[in-house]
Structure 1
C-alpha cells in the first residue's frame, strides 16, 4: 500500500428483504418537502411506487415528483429537478431507481443552490461546492453503477455532446441507501448484464494500475470472482436471491471508494465510453463491454505482470506453459468470452455508432490512462478496432 489515502464513507446501507422497513425512520430525520425522482414506469409496474408513496404519506411528507429520468440522465432533466427543489424548498431528494436516477439526484443536489452555471462550474471546471447541498437518499432497483454508496454523478449535456462525470466529496454521498435484491428481479436481462459489466469495469479500472503488492488488489480479485460466479447463476435464474444479492453488494463495494484505496487507477475505458454514450445514447455497461477488450489488447504489454495475474487469479488460467504475453492475452480472451456469455455487444456497430462518429468521439474523449497514457490518435485506433 504505497499511496497514502483518506477514507470515509458516510452512507448508511439497509440491505435485504426488509430493507424498506427502515425508510420511515430515515424520513423522520428530514423536513416535510421531498422530491421523489425516478425513471419511467418500472417502479409503478413493480408496485414499488405505491409502497414508497404510502410510506411518504404516512410520514406526513409533501411530495413533488420528477419522473422519466433517462438511462443517460440529461442536463436538461437535472435542471428541471433544480427548478423543483428551489420552487418547493425541498428538504430531501429520494431517488428510486438505478444509477442513472441516483446520479441525476446528486446532480440536482449540488446544483440546486449554485450561483452561476453548474455544468461549467462543477462538471467542466471541477470547482469546489461553496454552498449547502440537498440531502439524497435512495431506493435501489438496478445494480451496477455503485452510485448508491459514492459521490459520483455522470450527466450528459446533449446540446454539447458531452457526457461528463464528477466524483463529489462525502457530503454528497447518499445519506442512506435501501438495497433489496428482490427489486432487481424485474430488470430485463440485457440491463442486468449491462449492470454486471459496469461493476466489472469499475473493478478493472482500479485493478489495472500499480506494480506493488497491494491489499486492495486482493479485494478486487475476490469481488470479481464473486461477481462472475453470481452473474452466471442469475443468467440461469433471474430470481436467484443469493446471486442477485451478491451482484448488488459487489456493485456497491466495487465503487464505494474502498476498492480504489492506494491505487493509481486507470478510467480510460470509462472516458471513451462516456463520449461513445454522448453520441449513441447506449447503455453504459454495454458501451464499456464493446470498448474494454480492444483497449486492454492495446495497453496490456505496459502492465504485463498485472494482466498475467488477472488471468491466473480471476480466470484461473493455468499459465505454467505460457509466456507472459500468452498468459495475458488468454486472460483478455476469457474476459471477451464472458462478455459474450452476458449477451453484451462486442462491436461499436451493435451500439449504432457510425464510422463518422469515431473521430468525433476520439477528439472529445478526456485523455488519460493507467499503464499507458493515451493520445487522441491512440483512442481513434482503439475505436476502429472496436468497430
Structure 2
C-alpha cells in the first residue's frame, strides 16, 4: 500500500435479528425531542414503525414525525425537514428506512441550524458544516448504500437537474446504526436487486484505481465474491436469512471507507448514474447498472492489469491461451451475465432517457480524476450513447 492515510469510523453498529432492542440504550444519550424520519410508509405496514415508536415513547421522547422521504431526496424536502428540526428544537434525528432516508437525515442534521442555503454551501461549494449538527441514528430497512456507516448525503435538485452527493466527516456520520436483516425482507424484489447492484458498484468504484499491491483490493475482491454468491441465493429465495444478512453486512463494509484506504478511487459510474437520475428520478442502483458495462469497457484499456485481475480473482476466468484483453473482456462479460440474471436495468433508455437528453445529461455529469482515465465531455457523451 503506497498511500498515506488515517482511518476512523465513528459509527457503532448493532447487527442481528434482535438488534432493535439496543435502541433503548442509545436513546438515553440524547435529548427529549426526536425527529422520526422515514419514507413512503412501508414501515407502517410491516410493523417496524410501531416497534420503533413504542421504544421512543418508553424512553420518554417527544416524537416529531417527518415522513414521505422519496427514493431520491429532493432539495425541497431537505428545506422542509430542516425547518421541522429547527422549529421543534430537535435534539436527535432517528432515520428508519433505506439509504435515501439515512442520506436525507444527515443532510437535515447539517442544514437545520445552517445560516446559509445548504444547497449552495454543501452541494455547490462543498464546504463543511460550521453550525450546530444534530446527531443522527439509523434503523436500516434496505441494504445498498452503506449510508448507515458513512457521512454521505445525496440530494437531488430537480430545478437545476443535478443530483449531488456530499461526503461529510465523522461528526455527521450516524452515531449508531441498527441492522436487522429481517427488516429488509419485506422489500419488493426490484428494490432488493437495485440495492445489491449498488453494493457491487460501490466496491468497483474503489477497486478500479491504482496499480500498487494494495490490501484494500483483496478485501474488495472478497466482498464482491460474497455479494455475487449471496445475490444468486436471494433472487431465488428473498427470505433466506443467511443470504440477506451477508448482503446487508457487505453493503455496510462496501462503503464505510475501509476499502478505499490507500487508493484514489474512481466514482465515475456514480457521476454518470447521478446525472441520469437527475433527469429520470430512476432508482439509484438501476441508473448505475445501466451505465456500468459501457463505462468499464471504455476504460478497460487504461487499467488493463486490474481488469485482468478482476476477471481471474472475482469471476474465475482462466487466462490460459488468452491475451490480457481477451481475459479482461471475458470478466466483464461474466459480470454482464450476472447483472442480467439479477434483473437490473441494462439500458438508460429503459429509465426514460432519450437521445435528445444525452448532451444535457453529459453537462450535468461531474468529471473526476481518480480512476484510470479522466473522461472528456465527448467521451461521456459516447458512453451515454452506448448505454442507450
Q: How does 1:1-20 map to 2 (within 5 A)?
A: 1-20=1-20
Measure the CA separation in 2 of the matches of 1:31 and 1:41. 26
The offset of 1:214, in angstroms, is 0.3
What is aligned with 1:332?
332
What is aligned with 1:380?
381
The offset of 1:130, in angstroms, is 1.0
What is aligned with 1:280?
280
What is aligned with 1:110?
110
Measure the CA separation in 1 of the matches of 2:321 and 2:106. 50
Tell me the SS of whatever aligns to 1:166. strand
Tell me the SS of whatever aligns to 2:139. strand
What is aligned with 1:75?
75
What is aligned with 1:119?
119
Measure the CA separation in 2 of the matches of 1:353 and 1:227. 29
**TM-score w.r.t. length of structure 2:** 0.99
Measure the CA separation in 2 of the matches of 1:82 and 1:251. 28
Measure the CA separation in 2 of the matches of 1:365 and 1:307. 24
Measure the CA separation in 2 of the matches of 1:16 and 1:128. 34
Matched, 1:43 2:19: no
Measure the CA separation in 1 of the matches of 2:262 and 2:162. 30
What is aligned with 1:291?
291
What is aligned with 1:188?
188
Show structure 1 runs of 5+ residues with no match. none
What is aligned with 1:236?
236
Measure the CA separation in 1 of the matches of 2:293 and 2:339. 9
The offset of 1:128, in angstroms, is 2.1
Matched, 1:323 2:326: no
The offset of 1:368, in angstroms, is 1.8
Cα offsets for 1:337-356 (capped at 9, x unmatched): 11101101111111111111
What is aligned with 1:309?
309
Measure the CA separation in 2 of the matches of 1:357 and 1:338. 29
Tell me the SS of whatever aligns to 1:102. helix
What is aligned with 1:55?
55
What is aligned with 1:362?
362
Q: Paired residues, what number?
A: 387
The offset of 1:363, in angstroms, is 1.1
Measure the CA separation in 2 of the matches of 1:68 and 1:127. 28
The offset of 1:124, in angstroms, is 0.9
Deviation >6 Å, runs of 4+ = none
Tell me the SS of whatever aligns to 1:94. strand
**TM-score w.r.t. length of structure 1:** 0.99
Tell me the SS of whatever aligns to 1:276. helix
Measure the CA separation in 1 of the matches of 2:374 and 2:280. 25
Measure the CA separation in 2 of the matches of 1:156 and 1:93. 21
Tell me the SS of whatever aligns to 1:172. coil
Measure the CA separation in 1 of the matches of 2:62 and 2:378. 53
Cα offsets for 1:221-270 (capped at 9, x unmatched): 00000010000111111111000000000000000000100011000110
Show structure 2 runs of 5+ residues with no match. none
Measure the CA separation in 1 of the matches of 2:95 and 2:232. 29
Please give the root-mean-square deviation of Cα atoms over the aligned residues, in Å. 0.6
Comparing 367-376 with 17-26, which one deviates more in the overlay? 367-376
Matched, 1:219 2:211: no
Cα offsets for 1:307-343 (capped at 9, x unmatched): 0000000000111121000011111111111110110
Q: How does 1:169-180 map to 2 (within 5 A)?
A: 169-180=169-180
